[in-house]
Structure 1
Amino acid sequence: MEVQLTVFQKILLLFSIFVQAAGLAVNNSSSCQKSCGNVSNIPFPFGIGAGCYLDPWLEVVCNYNDSWASPKLVLKKLHLEVLNISLGGTVRVNYPTFVKCVEGPGLWSKLNMELGSSPFFFSISKNKFIGLGCDNFASMVSFIFDPFYSPDPHEFILDGCMSRCDPTNEVINGNNCNGINCCQSALPPADYINAFITNMSLANNNIYYRGKRCPSAFMVEEKWFQTRGLINISSIMPHVPVVLEWRIPNASFYSLPISYIHGSASTANNSSPSYICSNNTAYYMISDNWTYESAQAYRCSCRNGFEGNPYLLHGCQDINECESLKSPCFNNGSESVYCENTEGSYLCHSRRVEYPTKHSVRVIIIVIGISSGLGVLILLVGGWWSYKVVKKRRENKQKKKFFKRNGGLLLKQQLSSHEANVEHTKLFDSKDLEKATDGFNANRILGQGGQGTVYKGMLADGRIVAVKKSKVIDEGQLQEFINEVVILLQINHRNVVKLIGCCLETEVPLLVYEYIPNGTLSQYVSSQIEEFPLTWDMRLRIATEVAGALFYLHSAASLPIYHRNIKSANILLDEKFRAKVADFGTSRSITIDQTHLTTFVSGTIGYLDPEYYQTSQFTAKSDVYSFGVVLAELLTGKNAVFSTNMQETRGLASYFVQSMEEDNLFDILDSQVLKEDKKEEIIAVANLAKRCLDINRNKRPAMKEVAMEMETIQMLQRAPNFEQNCELEHFIFEL
């Protein structure tokens, strides 16, 4: 009876070996489909069709829909689109996001349990948790649900992040998800995660997004999200790439009588598990606190010195290290060492060098001559290269010196404290700017001011720009220069001059702005350009655009900004005569709770707020006063400080207010303004200018009110019957 049992065991052993060989080779069949859509390689143990996959969980199907450009590979049991399969134990899939379009605060949750009973789990190292949207608080509760280990979920971990709101910019960069409209969080340091709950709520009912808020929260492949580029937070992404890790379940019906453990065969018994790994492979266990007897799942890989598919019979093939490593053996003294490839490794052999013959001596002499010539050539080239290196280092040292002297370190400090976004601001090379301005030719000068000279230039890509070359500045002027850069980096408005880039590695700092072709408003107001007089409609539009820009600076910028030097000379006109506010050298940004700045009095005579001049306290109403002077200039055609017929110098502000109080408005208006029949509009703008020029700053309107009134006056201008808009006109005068 004992002999019969032994024979029976041998039969079972041979049968099992045959089964193993058939199972390992099953995917070699030419009938198995190897590609689908954009996936060009479907490796075993995954496969399409019966006999082409190892486990039902690893079965994939090639689906096609008329709305798709090409077929898509799908994990059959999970219904997830496959983007890529790696034998290293990962598979990239398209995973649905959690999006909720709402009108106000609320709390929403989504349960993700489809991986709970599968051999797949979310990769901790390759994925991130993302919250996208305005004032969106997103969190996830992750846990393990492993039917091979325990029927109940365990290891609950809470993780999440908060995205603050910036309504001025709905576009974020995936590589810069820093908490503004987008936040990110690493996955918790668990062994693995195959299920999680997504929670999402809005921090407040932001007016800007009311009625169109679609925040989202999702797990995503970190590398894909960082290289995604620009993302509109209002757009909806139905799914994103996610990296899953996979394993082979060690179920009883996969047990084989021979197990290859780290490349060596061992006979299976009733208490030890068996694995589907091929020869020349190693297996890696994936289980909590596993033991040899109670391992739950595993993955295979080729041993060192082999490469290929470890799940196929003879799938791991030897690597020829002598070719792939370019002969890892090396010379040693008087012995010549050569390389011999072996199974999974290599050997280095040595042999004695034979003495050369006479013919060999001649060859050696020729070789020495050629080598000497090459050596001299190499010395010459090396000397020239050394000279270039030393020169380059000297230039870099000089650039660092200029960078520090021109406020580069101060600029970095200011940018970090203001949380400015400098990613889209280009750092120009001094040689490029010198070429663009024809060596800063005097014929290219657009204007000169207290802080430097502005040149017209053309960049290599054909763009026309204005290059501001600052004067050799002392420490006091340096603060103004850096301040202008920081302020402009925070501003994104169509009626504010855009800063394109800068160069600090020159003797004097250089700033590059967009080119504004039609000069300054003061040139047209004072009739320096008589061939193109400003019509009343143009004056009204320019004033409305400047008011809108100042309202943006005071109320809509990330931090409130006081311009502190509003005047017609700092208002540029582009090719369509649209206003562009410029010169932010003396501007200051403040915190939201600040009401004023206490500074040394600075500005231009004729535009200074009288209360600021007396108290040294600059407020938003001080900019309103300066804007009132610009309105008076547009109405009268006079400069902020002008000479009367009696050769008396007067300030336009007091002269304008006095004329209004004496009902002499139409006696002081510009002749160009009087030519047009716009009496009602002129009176409305004049009354607004008078209120802006009130000596008592508390009686002046805020810039928001000024901008609204200017827009209302434009609405009246576009109305077909201006005289019939009595109620709207009465509203303006009441304001």
Structure 2
Amino acid sequence: KKHLQMVLLQWLIAAAALGATAAASQTIRPDCQEYCGNVRIPYPFGTREGCYLNEDFLITCNYTYRPPTPIPLLRKSEFEVLNISLDGQLRVETFVASDCYNEQGVEDGANSWTASSSLTKFPFSYTRNKFIAVGCDTYAVIQDFSGENYMTGCMSLCANISSVTEGDCSGIGCCQSPITKDLLDYEVSVLSYFNHTKVWSFNPCSYSFLVEAESFNFSAADLADLQNRSVVPTVLDWAIGNLTCEQAKHKDYSSTTTTTPYACQARNSDCIDSDNGPGYRCNCSAGYQGNPYLIDGCQDIDECKESRLNNCTKTCVNTVGGYKCSCPAWYHGDGLQGGEGCILDQSLLTKVSVGIATGLIVVLAGSFYFCWWIKKRQLTMLKKKLFQQNGGLELQELLSERDLSTNTTKIFTAEELEKATNKYDESRIVGQGGYGTVYKGIFSDNRIVAIKKSKMVGQITEFINEVAALSQINHRNVVKLLGCCLETEVPLLVYEFITNGTLFEHIHNEAKTYAMSWEARLRIATETAGVLSYLHSETS
């Protein structure tokens, strides 16, 4: 059972690998050779019958030229194929023509030869190739085989190697010329004016060739021996058959013996007429890539995977055969670079502004509240500290021990007294002296009191005992102590408020003393003696 599972697993892996290979293959059948050496052979090209469209697209894979590496040759010719592009171009190697001399000006036949190329199909590309001549005593000609339909050339001279400019092929050491359309064969010849006798020391030979323009960059080193090059890459334009796209699409192939039916087999492919020779070629439609000559050869391109394939500013959405640009929420526009792009909605700006403003207000309010809370907490802690420092706990305990908790003596808070005196406003002062200041206080229930704010207090223990003693006094001729506040640096005492003034004012004020009778004076003296007696006896 385990053996069967292993066989099944191996079969599935092999099938998956084969499917992946087939999906990436450019051949029309799985058994067609996809590579010859390092060159990929995509359909309509092929190396044997059944693998190519027709014999124009045969690639001969030669194993005898440079064994063991096979060499791809175009059809049965000696043109070595370097690369095949489905864009309709094929790179091959062509020969260089040379004209060499010895120092005496005698032609060196062993190193002098012409170069020619001939094809029955696939003209030389007039857009990708240039005719080049290299030398300082050189003129060269390229023509068709008959010499009657086409001929062009160029001339190159220079007196010394220092006059040559690297990369420049404008007639000093190197010259170039474009070629015509529809060129299927050519012959190159190169000649000298003075058999190189004047420039032999640095340029014994002239060279000419048809080359892919982007593959050749002239260098002064080329004047000596063309850097040992005998072949150069040249581009061919290939196409299907001799018909135009329109003719090929509507031709009735069932009534002919042609072996080249309409070649653009892939869905999502387009036909393009050749602009260099007869025929047409196929391309995958915009938004697709692959091999348009195979039925399922053109596959959708996901343009959104690479930014270079789309021009969206924000969001790219892939579609079959294309893509769409869109803008995210709170934006509007076409989303295209070079178009409207994505513009932030004004309503969002307003909301963002309001949100930021609200956030700032909340932060500021929170900061103020936090600061206020910190200050309040610090003040509360300070009051608690002062209350303990001023003997508040001892006073509470003492009043409790003396069973005075039921009397009217009260320990006031600092806020109560602040509010009662309107924050100790000067207009509330009713008396001042060396002992301190007395304020008139009005509580929220309209009770009027006198609040004594001393300048200093002696020993806290003595002060506490004094408060406890004064709280026991209950005599009609003695100002009653209502309570105290221990939450300030100097404790405050709260007394009942005497509306008619103090005894001191009545005795020492001349106006009041003059109107006072002897009976009143005696009553004051008697009652004062009674109070002193009360204080010494009842509160001891």
Name the TM-score class by shorter chain: 0.3 to 0.5
TM value normalised by structure 1: 0.35
